[in-house]
């Protein structure tokens, strides 16, 4: 009898700990999403970010420390908590209450859509997909309103530009910023053994389709981003900008190399090429090393770079 009571007590304790972990993960996740929602606003860049940098910047990490804390640490911490949650779940697997709860949560794993370009989509996948699409539309509209609304004939004249040239440059920047959001989430669906995906009842194999579509969206935005600036430089007789490699700030040559590497991977991912020349498709992802390396050279300290390389690929 004593052993039975001890087991019941330990199981109840495990359930309480798991519940606390779930609540903590939800709070961290909501805070992480709030950062992405607020990122296109002046409130974030003019008030929140400077205040965070003032308190977080250190001698060892500098500005990268604040970016790591905001964009990478939440996902890394969620991944660690998910490992602990899943480990405790194995100990409580035989308990009736735990199985009932798992069956309740399994409802989210049931198919919500069966026919469509994404194939079978569960309720969990549909909810995250809807949130991501809403984030893209919100970011695009917020950046569009903030950038285009300030462009007038007077402001363009002060910058010695035409209005359409100023708008084209802003459009190129806008496309790059929205593309960075897609790039930050690009590797989440294909991280093998991810505790975050297992926590949601997903696998990297079933989520590969989202990686594919995110890749298409990312490359479309970045290609349009590059074309906007090439057209602008060609029209304003500044085509030599394509050969600039700045030691501080943005390096155009590095961006062009990263874009070309991405285009090479993108081209081999289409069904016709993938099926006919599968070996080319199979070995082309090696180029991603150059794409990632030169994109880090291209962009200065980027808020999404830490999340892209640390948050999404580590777990």
Q: Which residues contact 104 (CB under 8 A, 6 or more apart)?
A: none
Give the pLDDT confidence score for residue 256 in this predicted structure: 92
Residue range(s) defining the domain that contains residue 157: 2-250+299-314
Asked whether residue 284 is domain-assigned, the answer is: no
Asked whether residue 67 is domain-assigned, the answer is: yes
Task: Read off φ and ψ for residue 122, nearest 5 degrees.
Answer: -80, 170
What sections of the chain are H helices per DSSP?
A: 2-38, 42-43, 49-56, 63-67, 73-91, 96-105, 123-148, 153-158, 163-185, 195-199, 204-235, 252-268, 271-276, 278-283, 288-298, 303-306, 312-314
Neighbours of 54 (CB within 10 A): 9
Give the pLDDT confidence score for residue 7 in this predicted structure: 65
Give the pLDDT confidence score for residue 306 in this predicted structure: 36
**Overall number of domains in the chain:** 1
Region for residue 99 given its phi and psi (left: phi exceeds 0; alpha: psi -120 to 50; beta: otherwise): alpha
Residue ranges in the chain whose pLDDT is less than 70: 1-9, 58-61, 91-106, 300-315
Pair 222, 193: CB distance under 8 Å: no
Q: How many residues does the chain have?
A: 315
Asked whether residue 130 is domain-assigned, the answer is: yes
Asked whether residue 265 is domain-assigned, the answer is: no
Asked whether residue 76 is domain-assigned, the answer is: yes
Residue 111's SS3 state is: strand
Question: How far apart are the C-alpha atoms of 202 and 125, rounded to whole Å?
Answer: 8
Give the pLDDT confidence score for residue 6 in this predicted structure: 66
Asked whether residue 291 is domain-assigned, the answer is: no
Q: Which residues contact 2 (CB under 8 A, 6 or more apart)?
A: none
Asked whether residue 275 is domain-assigned, the answer is: no
How many Cα atoms are found within 13 Å in the side-chain-facing hemisphere of 7? 10
Helix 2-38 to helix 96-105 angle (10° resolution) is: 20
Pair 139, 184: CB distance under 8 Å: no
Asked whether residue 144 is domain-assigned, the answer is: yes
Give the pLDDT confidence score for residue 154 in this predicted structure: 84
pTM for the model: 0.82
Q: What is the pLDDT of residues 279-291, one digit of tens each?
A: 887 888 788 888 8
């Amino acid at each position: 009898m004593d052993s039975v009571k001890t087991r019941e007590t330990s199981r109840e304790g495990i359930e309480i700990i798991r519940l606390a972990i779930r609540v903590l993960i939800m709070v961290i996740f909501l805070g992480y999403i709030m950062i992405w929602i607020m990122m296109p606003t002046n409130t974030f860049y003019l008030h929140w970010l400077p205040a965070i940098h003032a308190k977080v910047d250190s001698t060892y990490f500098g500005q990268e420390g604040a970016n790591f804390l905001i964009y990478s640490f939440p996902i890394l911490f969620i991944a660690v908590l998910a490992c602990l949650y899943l480990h405790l779940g194995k100990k409580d697997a035989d308990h009736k209450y735990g199985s009932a709860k798992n069956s309740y949560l399994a409802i989210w794993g049931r198919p919500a859509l069966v026919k469509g370009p994404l194939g079978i989509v569960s309720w969990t996948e549909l909810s995250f997909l809807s949130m991501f699409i809403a984030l893209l539309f919100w970011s695009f509209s917020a950046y569009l309103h903030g950038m285009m609304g300030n462009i007038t004939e007077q402001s363009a004249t002060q910058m010695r530009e035409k209005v359409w040239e100023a708008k084209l440059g802003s459009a190129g920047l806008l496309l790059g910023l929205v593309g960075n959001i897609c790039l930050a989430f690009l590797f989440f669906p294909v991280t093998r053994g991810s505790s975050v995906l297992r926590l949601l009842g997903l696998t990297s194999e079933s989520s590969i389709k989202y990686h594919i579509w995110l890749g298409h969206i990312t490359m479309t935005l970045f290609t349009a981003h590059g074309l906007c600036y090439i057209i602008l430089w060609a029209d304003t007789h500044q085509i030599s900008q394509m050969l600039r490699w700045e030691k501080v700030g943005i390096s155009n040559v590095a961006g062009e190399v990263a874009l070309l590497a991405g285009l090479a991977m993108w081209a081999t991912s289409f069904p016709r090429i993938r099926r006919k020349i599968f070996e080319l498709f199979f070995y082309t992802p090696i180029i991603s090393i150059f794409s990632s390396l030169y994109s880090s050279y291209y962009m200065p300290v980027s808020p999404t770079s830490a999340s892209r390389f640390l948050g999404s690929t580590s777990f």
